[in-house]
Chain A
Amino acid sequence: MASHPGRLRVPERSDVPPPVHGVLADERTTTSDGTVVVRDLVRAYGLGEGDGRVLRGLDLSIAAGEFVAILGRSGSGKSTLLRALAGLDHDVHGTGTIAVPDRVSVVFQDSRLLPWARVLDNVMLGLRGPRVRELGIERLAEVGLAGRERAWPTELSGGEQQRVSLARSLVREPQLLLADEPFGALDALTRIRMHGLLRDLYARHEPAVLLVTHDVDEAIVLADRVIVLDHGRIALHVEVGIDGPRDTTDPRFADLRAQLLAALGVPLTERTHP
C-alpha cells in the first residue's frame, strides 16, 4: 500500500480485483439527448500507484451543449477519464457506467493528421455521402483555412494543423466534443487565437465539450463549469458564471483562479499574479 505522508487518506480495501491487463467490465450506453452521465467510474492500470487505480468511483454529468473543463495535475486521471468517454481504453481494468451521446468527436493534443492524406481528405476521413465534400470545405473555411484543401499536413504550421483537426471533429457534427489538451503544444500567441476560435465554433455548433487542460486561465476563459480532478476523484466543482468577455483582470476571474490553484495544490507563494 502506498503511503502519503502529510495527506490524510483513509486507505480503502479495493473492491477491484487485482489489475488484469485489459479487463473492462463497464457498462456503456448511448444517450439520445446529448447528455453525458458517468457513474462510479473506476479505471486501473497494472502499474499505477497502490492498487493501480487512476479513477476512483468518479461521478460526472454533462448537460447537452455544456462546456466543461477538467483541470488536474499529471496523473490525476483527467486523460484517463477522457479516453474512457472516447472508448479508447482497451488495455485498462475498469468498472462503472458510461452513457455518452451517439456522435462523439475527439481532438488530441497533437493534430493527428494522416501525413499521407491531403488536408480535405483528413477532414473527411471515414465519412461518406454526397454532401461530405462540401461540408468539409465549409468547416475548413470556418477554421480559417479556405483554399488549403489540397495542402499536405506537413506544409501547415502547428496552429493550422490543429485547426484542421478541429474541422475534422466538427464536420461530424458531434454532440460531444472531447478535447485532450488541444492547445498544449502551441505557442502562447497561437493559443490565445485558438481560444477565440474554439469559443466561436462552440457558440455556432453547440456540442457538449469536455476540455482537459492544465492551464487554469484557459479553463476559466472557455468553460461554463470547471472541475478539478485529484487522485481519480473530483476535488472541486465550480461554475464560472462570468457573463460576457472573460478578462483576466476581472476580480471574479482572479478569485476563481486562486480557488482553482488552491484546489490544484499550488501554494500561494508560487502563484504568479498578473
Chain B
Amino acid sequence: MSTLTAPRALVAPRPTGTTRIRRRTTRRLGPGRTLPGGAALGLVALLAVWTIGSATGFLDQRTLSAPWTVVTTTGELLEQGRLQENLAVSAQRAFLGLALGIVLGTLLALVSGLSRWGEALIDGPVQVKRAIPSLALLPLLILWLGIGETMKVVTILLGVFVPVYIHTHNGLRTIDARYVELAETVGLSRWEFVRRVVLPGALPGFLLGLRFAVTGAWLSLVVVEQINGTAGIGYMMELARTYGQTEIIVVGLVLYGVLGFGSDALVRLVQRRALTWRRTLAD
C-alpha cells in the first residue's frame, strides 16, 4: 500500500529564516533583443584595434600599414589610375565567371531536378566535381587553356556553378509533392508548371546558392590573379609584394573585403525582396 502525498508545491512552505520572496522566472534561451547597429560593431572594434596598434607603434609599418596610410595610398593609386584599371579587369573577370557559372548551375539543376534521366546523368559528376576544389584543377586548366583570360574565367565558373547547382537542385527536390498534384488538377502545361511552381519554389534555394557563389567568385579571382596575372587587383598586390609595398597589399585586401561583403549584401537584399512571401524565424 502506498500513501498519497501532495506534491511539494502544494505543501505549506517550510519555515525558513529569510522572508525574501524570489520571483520564479522562466529562463530565456533565445539570443535576446538585437543590438542597435550590431552588424557593424565587430568591424568597428577591429578597426579600432588596428588604429591604436599602428598609432602606438605596436604594429610595425612594414608588417601592417596604418589605416591612414592605406587611405592615402588608395588616393595615390586612384590618381595614377592604377586602381580603377585593375579593378575594372578584376570585376570583368568576376562578373563573367559568375554569370556563366550561375547560368550553367541553374540549367544543370533544372535538368537534373525535373527528369530522372537528367538526375542520373548529371548529379553524380557534379557531386564529384564538388569534392575537387576548383583551385586544384588549376594546373590542368593552365595546360588546357593557357594562362589567358579564358583560364581565369573558367576557373571562376567552375567554383561558382557548384553551389548554385547544389542549392537550386535541393530547392527543386524539396518542392512539396502536393503542389505537383495541384498543378495536375488545374491542368498546367509543363512550361506553366515550371514557371508557376518549379522556379518560384526553387528560388529560395537558388538565392542561397547565389550567396555562396558570389563569395566563391571573389575567392577564385584572388588565386587566378596572383598566379599568372598581367592586370587585376591580385596582380597589383603580387607586384607590391615583390617591391615590399605593404600598403598596396593592404589596399588590395581591403578592396577584396569590401567587394565580397558588398556583393553578399546585394544578394541578401535581392533575397529579401524576392522572398517577401516567406515568413521565417529571422523576420
Q: Is B33 an interface residue (CB 8 A)?
A: no
Kindly list chain A residues whose C-beta atoms are within 8 Å of the C-beta of B49. Answer: none
Given contacts A110-B178, A116-B200, A117-B200, A125 and B277 within 8 Å (CB-CB): no
Please, what's the 1-or-0 string for A154-167, where 1 marks a CB less than 8 Å from any CB in chain B? 10000000000000
Kindly list chain A residues whose C-beta atoms are within 8 Å of the C-beta of B277. Answer: 115-117, 152-154
Considering the chains assembled together, what is the distance between the CA atoms of A112 and B181 in angstroms? 9
Residue of A nearest to B178 (CB): A112
Considering only residues 172-197 of chain A, those with a C-beta below 8 Å from chain B are 172
Kindly list chain A residues whose C-beta atoms are within 8 Å of the C-beta of B178. Answer: 108, 110, 112
Q: Is A1 an interface residue (CB 8 A)?
A: no
Considering the chains assembled together, what is the distance between the CA atoms of A104 and B186 in angstroms? 9
Question: How many A-B contacts at CB < 8 Å in the complex?
Answer: 49
Q: Is B197 an interface residue (CB 8 A)?
A: yes
Identify which of B185, B200, B276 gathers the most chain A CB atoms within 10 Å of its CB: B185
Q: Check B179–A114 contact: CB distance below 8 A.
A: yes
Taking A86-B185, A112-B179, A168-B186 as given, write out 7 further A-B residue pairs in contact, using a Cβ cutoff of 8 Å, ordered by the A residue number: A88-B181, A88-B185, A105-B185, A106-B185, A116-B278, A125-B182, A154-B279
Q: Is B76 an interface residue (CB 8 A)?
A: no
Please, what's the 1-or-0 string for A5-18, where 1 marks a CB less than 8 Å from any CB in chain B? 00000000000000
Interface size on A, residues (CB 8 A): 20
Considering the chains assembled together, what is the distance between the CA atoms of A204 and B179 in angstroms? 29
Please, what's the 1-or-0 string for B252-283, where 1 marks a CB less than 8 Å from any CB in chain A? 00000000000000000000000011110000
Chain B, interface SS category: helix
Q: Check A172–B186 contact: CB distance below 8 A.
A: yes
Considering the chains assembled together, what is the distance between the CA atoms of A268 and B5 in angstroms? 41
Q: Is A126 an interface residue (CB 8 A)?
A: yes
Kindly list chain A residues whose C-beta atoms are within 8 Å of the C-beta of B276. Answer: 152
Q: Check A125–B185 contact: CB distance below 8 A.
A: no
Considering the chains assembled together, what is the distance between the CA atoms of A108 and B277 in angstroms? 22
Considering only residues 187-206 of chain B, those with a C-beta below 8 Å from chain A are 187-188, 192, 196-197, 200-201, 203
Considering the chains assembled together, what is the distance between the CA atoms of A98 and B243 in angstroms? 84
Q: Check B184–A114 contact: CB distance below 8 A.
A: no
Residue of B nearest to A106 (CB): B185
Identify which of A88, A116, A125, A168 gathers the most chain B CB atoms within 10 Å of its CB: A116
Q: Which 5 A-B pairs have the closest CB atoms?
A: A116-B200, A126-B186, A106-B185, A126-B188, A152-B277
Considering the chains assembled together, what is the distance between the CA atoms of A153 and B278 in angstroms? 10
Kindly list chain A residues whose C-beta atoms are within 8 Å of the C-beta of B188. Answer: 125-126
23 residue pairs of the A-B complex, CB under 8 angstroms, read A86-B185, A88-B184, A104-B185, A108-B182, A110-B178, A112-B179, A114-B179, A114-B196, A114-B197, A114-B200, A115-B277, A115-B278, A116-B200, A116-B201, A116-B278, A117-B196, A125-B182, A125-B188, A125-B196, A126-B188, A126-B192, A152-B277, A153-B277
A28 to chain B, nearest CB (A): 14
A111 to chain B, nearest CB (A): 10
Residue of A nearest to B276 (CB): A152
Identify which of B182, B196, B201, B276 gathers the most chain A CB atoms within 10 Å of its CB: B182
Q: Is A87 an interface residue (CB 8 A)?
A: yes
Considering the chains assembled together, what is the distance between the CA atoms of A86 and B185 in angstroms? 7
Residue of A nearest to B275 (CB): A116
Considering the chains assembled together, what is the distance between the CA atoms of A187 and B192 in angstroms? 34
